Amino acid sequence: ATYAEKKKAEQAAKMDEYAAPAEFASGASHTLTSDEKYVIEGKGTEAAGTGKYDKFYPTEGYFACRKCGSPIYSFQAKFDSGCGWPAFDKCYDGAITAKTEDDGTDRVEIVCSSCKGHLGHVFTGEGFTETGERHCANSRSLQFVKAKPEVGKAEVKLGV
């Protein structure tokens, strides 16, 4: 097999390994790990390069909020920014609420609009993509779902 074929096979295997059903958050057994709680509920940040979705580029599916299951990003919105965290340049319309951090910095925090769980931060004007936005998300805030989301919403930039 060629290098390209091997890489494609690796990504397909990761898609299967990482995938959860669309209704993963509605089950009685759905709980967050202590690391996930630290990030999502405590507004923590996983160490750069440690998240399982950092170098993961699926060819279908979407990323949902790990806490409540709401669709946040399509697989097409993900790109390699080299920052050490999963990066996205747009989100499903209405999926994210952005606000300036209350810690005195000018960083813009992004949270799930449904459950208010911390996802990460958004940065603008870096020139990585046409939208001019880099959503720097924590892998622990997200769950990959290997299915089409039933949101029927457009993907948009936040325009922060």
For 7, the token pair is 């890489």
CA distance 93 to 62: 14
Buried b (16+ CB within 10 A) or exposed e, 117-135: bbbbbbbeeeebbebebbb
CA distance 103 to 49: 24
CA distance 81 to 34: 27
Amino acid at site 51: G
For 129, the token pair is 């993509």
Catalytic residues: 136
For 148, the token pair is 């089409």
Tell me the helices (H) and strands (E) count for the chain, helix number first: 2, 11
Place of tokens 């990323």: 63
